């Protein structure tokens, strides 16, 4: 049986109007010509590490084992921040050590994580502003071709993680959470997980959701459960409670930094 073609995914804040993404792909294909390169997103808001971490986490497990996820949202490029390569739940990640692996690290089984130190895998010139092309893309390609994590450098014993919590907390009178992502529709995605609210005979519908003290109502099944222009709380496709406006933008109506509360 033929060996499956290796998969490398790309998540960046590069956009698509410049040559940056194409350069990453060119480097990878130059090392692994048969690689399948999948664009997860290049529309992460510039320098927004938290958004990059969320998108990586949500896409992670939908790819098969041995997929290599290359994530480049790197406001510290050229500084002494480290570059890491790791393996969680049979999948690899290559990223700057700035918090991009936060949600994956908290939610998936860590198998190994190393600091990228050996530059023999990066034979080209080193730009101080484009480590995605010059270091991370070659490393991702090497992992896709079967290179071991151990060959890249020492074990990473200290990892940079964001202060964002990927899971809401239970309090005496309910649940308190936060908005951890805003999607392109302006929907507020919270850190309240479906399995925190789907309990009892009424399940999710037994909770009343509020944002910053403003009541949204119960958790409903669809956006269309309310009239156009009205706010609605749902459990989204990522398994998290979301605040939306039916055919509108919740981020324009609610403070994305406000506390999200659920009460029964």
Q: What is the pLDDT of residues 7-20, one digit of tens each?
A: 999 999 999 999 99
37 and 115 part of one domain? yes
13 and 59 part of one domain? yes
Q: What is the pLDDT of residue 188?
A: 98
Q: What is the pLDDT of residues 49-65, one digit of tens each?
A: 999 999 999 999 999 99
Last residue within a domain, chosen from 119, 152, 185 = 152
Q: What is the pLDDT of residues 147-177, one digit of tens each?
A: 999 999 999 999 999 998 889 999 999 999 9
Residue 163 counted as domain residue: no
The enclosing domain of 227 has a CATH number of 2.40.30.90
Q: Is a pLDDT exceeding 60 seen at residue 200?
A: no
139 and 232 part of one domain? no
73 and 110 part of one domain? yes
Burial class (CB in 10 A: 0-12, 13-18, 19+), 242: buried
Tokens 């692996």 sit at which residue? 101
Residue 164 counted as domain residue: no
Chain-wide mean pLDDT for the chain? 95
- Residue 158's SS3 state is coil
Residue 74 counted as domain residue: yes
141 and 195 part of one domain? no
Residue 67 counted as domain residue: yes
203 and 245 part of one domain? yes
Average pLDDT over residues 120-147: 93
119 and 181 part of one domain? no
142 and 30 part of one domain? yes
For the sheet containing 260-263, what is the strand order?
A: 169-171, 174-177, 260-263, 208-211, 214-220, 231-235, 240-245, 188-193, 179-182
Range of the domain at 75: 7-152
80 and 197 part of one domain? no
Per-residue pLDDT band at 2 (split at 50, 70, 90): low
Q: What is the pLDDT of residues 23-39, one digit of tens each?
A: 999 999 999 999 999 99
Last residue within a domain, chosen from 102, 127, 152 = 152
């Amino acid at each position: 049986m033929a060996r499956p073609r290796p998969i490398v995914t790309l998540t960046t804040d590069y956009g698509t109007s410049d040559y940056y993404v194409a350069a990453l792909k060119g480097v990878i294909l130059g090392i692994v010509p048969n690689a399948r390169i999948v664009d997860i997103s290049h529309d992460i808001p510039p320098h927004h590490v938290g958004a990059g971490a969320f998108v990586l986490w949500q896409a992670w497990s939908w790819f098969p084992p041995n997929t290599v996820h290359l994530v480049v949202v790197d406001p510290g490029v050229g500084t002494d921040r480290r570059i890491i390569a790791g393996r969680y739940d049979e999948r690899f990640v290559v990223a700057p050590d700035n918090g991009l692996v936060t949600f994956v690290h908290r939610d998936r089984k860590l198998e190994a994580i190393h600091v990228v130190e050996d530059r023999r895998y990066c034979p080209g010139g080193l730009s101080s502003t484009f480590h995605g092309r010059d270091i991370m893309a070659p490393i991702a390609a090497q992992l896709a071709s079967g290179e071991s994590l151990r060959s890249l450098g020492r074990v990473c014993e200290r990892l940079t993680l964001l202060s964002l919590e990927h899971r809401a907390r239970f309090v005496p009178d309910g649940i308190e959470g936060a908005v951890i992502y805003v999607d392109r529709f302006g929907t507020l995605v919270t850190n309240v997980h479906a399995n925190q609210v789907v309990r009892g005979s009424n399940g999710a519908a037994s909770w009343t959701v509020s944002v910053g003290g403003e009541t949204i109502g119960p958790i409903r099944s669809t956006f269309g459960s309310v009239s156009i222009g009205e706010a609605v709380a749902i459990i989204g496709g990522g398994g998290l409670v979301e605040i939306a406006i039916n055919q509108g933008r919740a981020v324009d109506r609610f403070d994305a930094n406000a506390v999200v509360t659920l009460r029964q």
